[in-house]
Structure 1
Amino acid sequence: MTPMDLAFMHAPTGLALTENRIVRQCNLRFAEMFGDQVDAFTDMPLERLYPSLKDYEKVERVGGDRLRKTGRYEDERIMRRLNGDLFWCRVRGTSLTPETPFKQGVWSFADLSAERPVVALTPRERDVAILTCQGRTSKEIGLMLNLSYRTVEAHRARLLQKFGARKLPELVAKFSGMPL
């Protein structure tokens, strides 16, 4: 192995080289994070590591736009290990072909599960959480989601409880990094 190969394979962060959103090569930390040996990920579609097809497609849409503009993309999102466990992950990528953003890329993955546990949200709680982070009032959210403001308040109360927050600003702070 060359020194560059050793550096890639033993980097302290998960690394993957991708083509058209398929892992062509990954390092030891990536394999450990997602739960198998390095060889198991060769030629694996990244879709298998997302919680849902909807999440996979959303990152393609949002990330593709940013990659075309800047050649780089980063976010924090929930990913899925091969055993099905969900975890928060910081993802950063560089497209080697910005005009075709996912044709070739270099991606890093950092496991955030130690500092940010996954909290299960219903689709409606997620909608309320996102709109709350955008600074919307309960009445505005109610109008947007066709709910009464009291129902929105009930969702917010459950969110406060789930996240162990006492007040709305603390809840919004705990949402930081949530992919919107």
Structure 2
Amino acid sequence: MPSDIDSAIFENAPVGLIYTEDRIIRRCNARFAVTFGYAANELEGASLAMLYPSSDEFANTGEHWTRELLEHGAYADERIMRRRDGALFWCRVRGQALDPARPLARAVWSFSDLSAERPVAVLSRRERQVGMLLVEGLTAKEIARRLEISPRTVHVHKNRLMARFGVRNSLELVRCLTAVPR
């Protein structure tokens, strides 16, 4: 049973915090609820799927989280999430499995809203996926394996991203995808 101080720390953390069981939100703090535009009682018992831009991204992220948590015990990335009103925003996600053998069975997650630092460009789901993996430093071949597409298709999406952002190379593209507005 958590103490009053434990509850106060959880509830007043400067980032959104959740405890999940099999990707179902069992407990969340006020910052998490406000970030996504809900009341806490609307989120508790709900699937994390409602916070993703698409069901495919929810499924793919679950598979990726499972691999990373099994291998490292912790997870970290920056990704596009969806608010209650449908608005998309960049979010920093960090997770820790409570049972390393069953990583999604019980986990603690933090979510930080990055929308003030990184506005969302209108991209297709696949462009977002390729862009996020480029930011992680993956090569076209690694991205192709992760997304189960051909390296040539990765290059097509990368070239579209470069044209959309008006950049000449991968370094400039990554800089645009992670840029903090001045």
1:20 positional shift: 0.7
Q: How does 1:99-138 map to 2 (within 5 A)?
A: 99-122=101-124, 125=127, 134=138
- Kindly provide the amino acid, as one letter, of the partner of residue 153 in structure 2: L
1:171 positional shift: 1.4
Q: Which consecutive residues of structure 1, in runs of 5 or more, have no partner in the other structure? A: 137-141
Which is worse superposed, 116-125 or 103-112? Answer: 116-125
Matched, 1:65 2:67: yes
Percent identical residues: 42
Pair 1:131–1:2, CA change in 2 (3 A): closer
Q: Tell me, in whole angstroms, the C-alpha distance in 2 between the residues paired with 1:124 and 1:74.
A: 20
Query: For the Cα contact (< 8 Å) 2:134–2:174, is it kept in 1?
Result: no
Paired position in structure 1 for 2:172:
170
Write the deviation string for residues 36-91 of structure 1: whole angstroms up to 9, x where unpaired: 11111110100110111111111111110111122211111111111111111010
Pair 1:86–1:143, CA change in 2 (3 A): closer
Which is worse superposed, 97-106 or 120-129? Answer: 120-129
Deviating above 4 A after TM superposition, structure 1's stretches of 4 or more consecutive aligned residues are 123-136
Q: Tell me, in whole angstroms, the C-alpha distance in 2 between the residues paired with 1:128 and 1:24.
A: 31
Q: How does 1:24-173 map to 2 (within 5 A)?
A: 24-122=26-124, 125=127, 134=138, 144-145=152-153, 152=156, 156=159, 159-160=161-162, 162-163=164-165, 165-168=166-169, 169-173=171-175
Pair 1:89–1:125, CA change in 2 (3 A): closer
Query: For the Cα contact (< 8 Å) 1:119–1:162, is it kept in 2?
Result: no
TM-score under structure 2 length normalisation: 0.78
Count residues with an aligned counterpart.
166
Pair 1:27–1:176, CA change in 2 (3 A): same
Paired position in structure 1 for 2:146:
none
TM-score under structure 1 length normalisation: 0.78
Pair 1:4–1:54, CA change in 2 (3 A): same
Pair 1:69–1:126, CA change in 2 (3 A): closer
